[in-house]
Structure 1
């Protein structure tokens, strides 16, 4: 493979390194993700995360495995195991299906990386055109360079609007699980110099009520054929609040996140994580030991609550999505 580098991933031609996102914002630690079994562990514990980056990282790990002399059977087994590492983000399956069919794994992984960079640029271009001078923008989870090979999805749009001098202010939800907005989005916003404020997820409605937010931008881990989409848990509630307060609500995603085989959001599998993340554990436990807890990583927002979907290929209204436009532009 040709060496490459992004905010959370780099390949020096021999070894694949990933930035351990569980240790941000306090420490920037790079881990070896060359072996597929190691990459699977990193993906499962969210050291590597973000729907596009998961697909890119898994492809790069598989290509590195092949370059190190894996047999055809070992390659196929690794591909299948990586594909199953997380159930909701469809980019992982999309990338592994490409790698399974590839005659040159290194070239295919490189193509997947470079394509994601281009897709991020397309989303940024289309999405930034929606943002007006001086807007307050609310975002959820992490959707920047840590989640992609390029500048990001929703946060890439925000970054481009900031670079255009639109004097925006970003409100970042802290976001469960693992407070990815507080640890990761706040870290990226600080590095980019974008004026921003961190809030808890339960504060969003107050900002919307008080007119401090003029637009909501979120990412997506899977978009169904009708425009319903899955994103980090809390997105559905945010969409309901935005609709009530008359604030535009936009998911932002590359075409690789669209799953045309999934007719509606009801068919999207939702990953559930360890209840200890809700209760806390050890000295950081804040709920009674043994208390029942529910911890889905994602929820599904119906297309009826979407103002428009920002893709790398354009911006599509809820009406267009319900009419089947995704089959035409992503098929």
Structure 2
């Protein structure tokens, strides 16, 4: 089994009984997901309540792990979603542990299909569910005992979390080499510790570099409509006491000029074989502005598991469209506040636009309104300087030189160096 508590200790994570989360002893930033094996409970940092309340959300039901856990963005960010999906599979395995072996695998496959549909763009999700399913199938075919298959899933889920923690450490070490005293770094959405298990993607290296003494100023974009940059990134960076400037989404050029932004560092949801990167909607806008300025380095930072070699080009990445409520909710609150303060009358509209003129058609007709709310856009490789990963640093054109075998070899070597045994199904 994976000694997950030993991994926590090596990383510097300590349990905080007040919040119910593990928190890093230097950056003060929490772990996003863990599992209570004694009670068979998945524990998520509840990111829907941040920045107003720091608390955790728990479930023993894989369906709730999927909805609202993953789809409702209690947990969010590609790597954190993958870790949660692994433990979602463990919850399913526990639920069906008394089934006959054939039905156990059937039910586990159904659970994997369900979890995969909750956030289809984030490739680590399917990576984690596939791993859990494969180790269960192999265990059943080897000895036919459902109980041992459940423990195989447990190992795979713990492995996925341990691997992310360890590989994020390597990512930070490589990433910090590209940060200098005096850097003014723009980021977007929350591609950071809270989008990994801990310390990953774009922000992890920045936070660690800062607490270790590098002079860095952050410019965090609001990132409408869910405002993860305004709420989550600023909360996370402030936990590490980093200096922060908040700008709204239409202030890219102005912020570059006003604050002297010289680097852009974003997280990743998926990397295609051609070096294109899918990330939170608006990422490609920053890349285009940075390219026009000419002296701004544009970096993505990610885990190797977001590299999808089966997706040949960026245009092939599926783009999830999210609920229009994310866009309209703010204006419902504004109307309520204006009525409460008697700025508008009780006869006023309670929302804008009214639901009766909103259509779900692709193109609106006369008098109709469409609200377009894609979750991601794709940055073409020509606009990206470097893709910093937990298996090395690559120019976009170098992604196509990777193979799954090569990536796994690097991963296995790094994990085994830290005492974590890789599941045989991966090595095979």
TM-score interval, smaller chain: over 0.9
1:124 maps onto 2:169 in alignment: no
**For residues 266-319 of structure 1, what are the alpha-carbon distances to aligned partners after superposition, in whole Å with 9 as ceiling and x for unaligned?**
110000011232233633467422342100000000001000110111111234
2:114 to 59, 67, 81: 81
2:403 to 321, 327, 331: 327
Q: Which whole-Å CA distance do the structure 2 matches of 1:243 and 1:315 have between them?
A: 20
Q: Which whole-Å CA distance do the structure 1 matches of 2:89 and 2:169 have between them?
A: 26
> 5+ residue gaps in structure 2?
6-21, 23-29, 137-151, 336-350, 359-368, 409-428
Name 1:261's counterpart in structure 2: 310
Name 1:274's counterpart in structure 2: 323
Q: How does 1:305-316 map to 2 (within 5 A)?
A: 305-316=383-394
Name 1:31's counterpart in structure 2: 57
Q: How does 1:114-193 map to 2 (within 5 A)?
A: 114-193=162-241
Secondary structure at the aligned position of 1:170 is classed as strand
Name 1:99's counterpart in structure 2: 132
The TM-score normalised by the length of structure 2 is: 0.73
Q: Which whole-Å CA distance do the structure 1 matches of 2:324 and 2:228 have between them?
A: 17
The TM-score normalised by the length of structure 1 is: 0.93
Q: Which whole-Å CA distance do the structure 2 matches of 1:189 and 1:9 have between them?
A: 19
Following superposition, the deviation at residue 237 of structure 1 comes to 0.2
| 2-11 or 26-35, which deviates more | 2-11
> 5+ residue gaps in structure 1?
none
Name 2:142's counterpart in structure 1: none
CA RMSD across the alignment = 1.9
Q: Which whole-Å CA distance do the structure 1 matches of 2:53 and 2:323 have between them?
A: 24
Q: How does 1:203-242 map to 2 (within 5 A)?
A: 203-210=251-258, 212-242=260-290
Name 1:59's counterpart in structure 2: 86
- Largest Rg, 1 or 2: 2
1:8 maps onto 2:8 in alignment: no
Name 1:243's counterpart in structure 2: 291
Following superposition, the deviation at residue 151 of structure 1 comes to 0.8
**For residues 228-265 of structure 1, what are the alpha-carbon distances to aligned partners after superposition, in whole Å with 9 as ceiling and x for unaligned?**
01000000000001111120100111110000000010
Name 1:43's counterpart in structure 2: 70
